[in-house]
């Protein structure tokens, strides 16, 4: 490890009493300073220094460190500041680990914040939905509870009764119209017989005309089929003639081509043979000329040799033995040359023979190739005709199959239609049976309600008989609905009357009978008034006169069931007076 040497600090002469470890002369804080050994203050000159130098000198005067330590501490502080600045600067960089970590943490925090916001929003929405569903369930429960009240059941009964009466009126009207129609179409038997005979005659004439039309149509179809079959036969014959003409034309062209090629081949062969013969003849002539020249040369050589031999006969006597050897060698060379010439002639003869017989099998091979091509063309034509006939037959079979499929499909559609009609009839009959069962159940329920109502009427009659002794006017004036139950009952009655009036208006617009609703619900009958002129009336009399003992209050004024009786008694008292 290398040590870094710091530059030496400048030395400054310091006065006595100045700190030894301080190299800078401190600036006097006061302009006056007492001299050593004297009481009179010594005035020193004032020095003006910048604030930065003043603070630096002050800090140096207050420290006990050396200059090297001070410089080292400053360097450390600057290094620390630079490091902190670098860290602050690096935080904003995205290509460093710290920057990526800061970015990742910020992204995760934002993601968590958004997720928490979404969860809170979903919780709020879910709470709103839960409250809405709870409110809807409460409303449905209240509506169902309200529909189960006796007055709503009575209103529904009256509405059903109105529908039944309307349907009954329609059936009566239909029966009247049907009876009138049947009555208007009554006729005498003779007229009926005449009309039947005329209708039968018309039917017979119509059947005869239909039979003739069918016969004419069948004849036309037969003629059309025959004409179509004849046309197909003519087309086949024409196609067959065309194919035969094509085959004949192809055969004729092949024969002409064969004749032309034969003539050309013969002429070429003749020209080749003539050329070969001429070449052979020219070669023989050249060989004869060469042989003649060779003979002349041999003759000249022989003569020269004889002359030389006659001159040098004596000189060559001693060489007889050597001459005999020379003659033997010459004879041997001549025999070899003769043998080579013979082999050459044999080769030339073989070559001429090969050239003559080289084209002997070409004609047969060419004829065989042409015959093969002709057979292939004929086979292609036959295949084409066979495929054409097969396609036509397949088209006919396909048409038949499609016709059978169409007929089967039409029959299946007819069966499906009949089955659907039977199913509709069964559904209608089942619906009628269910409706009849519902009517029977309604009748039984109505009878049960009637029995229950009779029991209530009897109990109410007993209560009425017991309450006759009480004063009527005090009951009317002292009755005031004070409980919450009575107020709720009044609200329900107002709501019921509104719904009932809307139903009555709708039924009136539809032209239905609304008397059962008006008499049984809207204009409620009060108990039969008590008067001295009507005595001994029982429940059946009340029902016969249209009164009912069941009372549903709608207003606070009408809450007293004895209001009408009180008014009737008041009228009777006035008449008596």
| pLDDT tens string 10-63 | 444 444 444 444 444 444 444 444 444 455 555 566 677 787 777 777 766 665
Question: What are the C-alpha distances in Å from 9 to residues 18, 76, 354?
Answer: 17, 18, 126
Q: What is the overall mean pLDDT for the chain?
A: 72
Dihedrals phi, psi of 36, to nearest 5 degrees:
-70, 130
Report the alpha-carbon distance of residue 70 to residue 292 in Å, rounded. Answer: 139
What value does the mean pLDDT take over residues 243-271?
A: 84
Q: What is the pLDDT of residues 477-534, one digit of tens each?
A: 444 444 566 667 677 777 777 777 787 788 778 777 777 766 666 555 544 444 444 4
Asked if 159 and 520 count as a contact pair (C-beta separation under 8 A), the reply is no
Q: Residue 445 sits in which domain range?
A: 374-465
Decide if 384 contacts 301 (C-beta within 8 A). no
Q: How many domains are there within the chain?
A: 3
User: Could you tell me if 460 and 493 lie in one domain?
Assistant: no
Q: What percent of the chain has pLDDT over 90?
A: 6
User: Are 428 and 446 within one domain?
Assistant: yes
| Separation between Cα atoms, residue 568 and residue 531, nearest integer Å | 7
Are residues 553 and 475 located together in one domain of the fold? yes
Q: Is the dihedral of CA 34, 37, 38, 42 positive or negative?
A: negative
Do residues 518 and 504 make contact, with C-beta atoms less than 8 angstroms apart? yes
Least confident of 51-60, 289-298, 563-572: 563-572
Q: Which residue has the tokens 């617009």?
A: 509
d(CA 426, CA 420): 10
Do 473 and 450 lie in a common domain?
A: no
Domain end, chosen from 34, 64, 91, is at 91
Same domain, 431 and 498: no
Instruction: Decide if 352 contacts 279 (C-beta within 8 A).
Output: no
Q: Is the same domain home to 570 and 472?
A: yes
Predicted confidence (pLDDT) at residue 204 exceeds the cutoff of 80 = yes
What's the chain's length in residues? 577
**Residue 155: which residues within 8 A CB-CB, separation 6 or more?**
496, 499, 500, 503, 517, 521
pLDDT in tens, 310-327: 666 666 655 665 556 666
Query: Is 20 domain-assigned?
Result: yes
* Residues whose CB is less than 8 angstroms from the CB of residue 243 and which lie 6 or more positions away in sequence, other chains included: 381, 385
Statement to judge: residues 491 and 443 lie in one domain: no
Are 418 and 449 in a shared domain?
Answer: yes
- Does residue 410 form part of some domain? yes
- Segments in 63-149 forming alpha helices (H): 67-91, 97-147
Could you tell me the pTM of the whole model? Answer: 0.23
Q: Domain boundary at 59, 74, 91, which?
A: 91
Q: How far is CA 505 from the centre of its chain?
A: 51
d(CA 517, CA 509): 15
Could you tell me if 50 and 84 lie in one domain? yes
Of 416, 442, 465, which closes a domain? 465
CA distance 268 to 401: 65
């Amino acid at each position: 490890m290398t040590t870094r040497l710091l530059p030496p600090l400048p030395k400054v002469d310091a006065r006595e009493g100045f700190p030894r470890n301080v190299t800078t002369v401190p600036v006097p804080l006061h302009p006056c300073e007492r001299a050593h050994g004297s009481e009179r203050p010594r005035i020193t000159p004032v020095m003006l220094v910048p604030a930065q130098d003043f603070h630096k000198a002050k800090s140096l005067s207050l420290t006990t460190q050396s200059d090297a330590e001070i410089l080292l501490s400053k360097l450390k502080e600057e290094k620390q500041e630079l490091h902190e600045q670098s860290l602050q600067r690096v935080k904003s960089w995205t290509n460093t680990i710290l920057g990526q970590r800061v970015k990742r943490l910020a992204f995760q925090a934002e993601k968590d914040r958004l997720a928490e916001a979404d969860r809170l929003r979903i919780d709020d929405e879910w709470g709103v939905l839960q409250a809405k569903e709870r409110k809807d369930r409460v409303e449905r429960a209240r509506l169902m509870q309200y529909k189960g009240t006796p007055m709503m059941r009575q209103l529904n009964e009256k509405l059903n009764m109105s529908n039944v009466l309307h349907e009954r009126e329609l059936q009566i009207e239909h029966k009247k119209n049907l009876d009138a129609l049947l009555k208007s179409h009554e006729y005498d038997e003779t007229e009926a017989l005449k009309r039947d005979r005329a209708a039968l005659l018309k039917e017979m004439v119509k059947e005869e005309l239909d039979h003739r039309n069918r016969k004419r149509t069948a004849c036309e179809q037969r003629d059309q089929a025959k004409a179509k079959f004849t046309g197909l036969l003519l087309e086949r014959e024409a196609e067959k003639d065309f194919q035969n003409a094509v085959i004949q034309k192809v055969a004729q062209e092949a024969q002409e081509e064969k004749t032309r090629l034969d003539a050309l081949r013969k002429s070429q062969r003749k020209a080749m043979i003539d050329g070969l013969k001429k070449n052979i003849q020219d070669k023989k002539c050249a060989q004869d000329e060469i042989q003649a020249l060779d003979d002349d040369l041999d003759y000249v050589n022989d003569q020269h040799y004889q002359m030389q031999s006659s001159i040098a006969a004596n000189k060559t006597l001693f060489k007889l033995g050597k001459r005999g050897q020379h003659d033997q060698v010459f004879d041997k060379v001549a025999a070899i040359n003769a043998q080579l010439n013979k082999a050459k002639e044999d080769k030339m003869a073989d070559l001429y023979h090969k050239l003559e017989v080289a084209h002997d099998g070409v004609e047969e091979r060419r004829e065989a190739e042409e015959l093969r091509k002709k057979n292939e063309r004929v086979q292609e034509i036959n295949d084409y005709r066979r495929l054409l006939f097969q396609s036509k037959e397949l088209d006919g079979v396909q048409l038949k199959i499609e016709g059978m499929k169409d007929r089967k499909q039409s029959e299946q559609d007819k069966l499906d239609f009949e089955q659907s009609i039977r199913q509709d009839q069964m559904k209608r009959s089942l619906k009628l049976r269910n409706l009849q069962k519902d009517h029977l159940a309604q009748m039984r329920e109505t009878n049960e309600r009637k029995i229950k109502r009779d029991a209530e009427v009897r109990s109410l009659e007993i209560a009425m008989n017991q309450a006759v002794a009480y004063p009527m006017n005090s009951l009317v004036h002292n009755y005031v609905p004070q409980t919450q139950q009575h107020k709720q009952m009044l609200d329900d009655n107002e709501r019921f009357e509104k719904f009932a009036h809307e139903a009555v208006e709708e039924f009136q617009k539809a032209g239905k009978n609304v008397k059962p609703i008006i008499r049984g619900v809207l204009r409620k009958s009060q108990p039969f008034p008590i008067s001295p002129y009507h005595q001994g009336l029982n429940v059946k009399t009340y029902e016969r006169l249209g009164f009912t003992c069941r009372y549903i209050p709608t207003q606070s004024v009408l809450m007293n069931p004895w209001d009408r009786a009180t008014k009737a008694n008041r009228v009777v008292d006035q008449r008596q007076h």
